[in-house]
Structure 1
Amino acid sequence: MDSAAVLALFDRQLRRDHHGEGPGDRVERVGDVVRLVASGGAGWCGVVWSDLNARNADAAIAEQVRYFTELGREFEWKHYSHDMPADLADRLLKAGFAPEEPEALMIAEIAGLPTEPRLPEGVRIVEVTDAAGVAQMVRAHDAAFGRPSPRLEQQLLRQVADRDASLVALVVLAGDDEPVCAARLELHKGTEFGSLWGGGTAPRWRGQGIYKATVAYRARIAAERGCRYLQVDASDDSRPILGRLGFHPLAVTTPFVYEP
Structure 2
Amino acid sequence: MVDTAALLAAYDAQMRMPPGTVPAGEIHEHDGPLLRIVGEHMGRIRGPRDLGVSGAALDRLIARQRDYFRDRDQAVEWKVRAHDLPAELPERLVAAGFVAQGPSTVLIGVAEEVATEPVLPDGVVLRRVSEAGDLRRIADHETVVWGFDLSWVAGHLGAHVKADPDHITILVAETDDQIVCAAWTIYSPGTDFGALLGGTTLEQWRGRGLYRAILAARAREAAARGFRLLHVDASPDSAPILRRCGFHEVTTSRHYQWTPPAKAVE
TM-score by length of 2: 0.89
2:46 to 45, 48, 64: 48
Question: C-alpha separation between the residues in 1 aligned to 2:106 and 2:68?
Answer: 28
Aligned pairs (5 A) from 1:17-96: 18-19=19-20, 21-38=22-39, 42-50=40-48, 51-55=51-55, 56-96=57-97
Q: Which residue of 1 aligns with 2:264?
A: none
Q: Which letter does structure 2 place at the counterpart of 1:256?
A: Y
Change (3 A) 1:197 1:16: closer
Q: 1:62-98 CA distances to partner (integer Å, 9 max, x unpaired)?
A: 1211222233332110011011111211111111011
Change (3 A) 1:34 1:253: same
Secondary structure in structure 1 of the residue aligned to 2:16: helix
Structure 2 residue 208 is the aligned partner of structure 1 residue 208: yes
Question: C-alpha separation between the residues in 1 aligned to 2:22 and 2:210?
Answer: 26
Question: C-alpha separation between the residues in 1 aligned to 2:182 and 2:166?
Answer: 18
Stretches of structure 2 that go unaligned for 5 or more consecutive residues are 261-266
Q: Which letter does structure 1 place at the counterpart of 2:195?
A: S
Stretches of structure 1 that go unaligned for 5 or more consecutive residues are none
Question: C-alpha separation between the residues in 2 aligned to 1:47 and 1:8?
Answer: 21
For the 8 Å contact 2:125–2:173, the answer to whether it is kept is: yes
Q: Which residue of 1 aligns with 2:259?
A: 259
Q: 1:227-248 CA distances to partner (integer Å, 9 max, x unpaired)?
A: 0100001111111100000111
Identity of aligned residues (%): 36
Please say which of residues 109-118 and 222-231 is displaced more in the overlay.
Answer: 109-118
Structure 2 residue 184 is the aligned partner of structure 1 residue 147: no
For the 8 Å contact 1:138–1:182, the answer to whether it is kept is: no
Question: C-alpha separation between the residues in 2 aligned to 1:192 and 1:200?
Answer: 25
Question: C-alpha separation between the residues in 2 aligned to 1:258 and 1:19?
Answer: 27
Q: CA RMSD in A?
A: 1.8
Q: Which residue of 1 aligns with 2:263?
A: none
Secondary structure in structure 2 of the residue aligned to 1:168: strand
Q: Which letter does structure 2 place at the counterpart of 1:246?
A: G
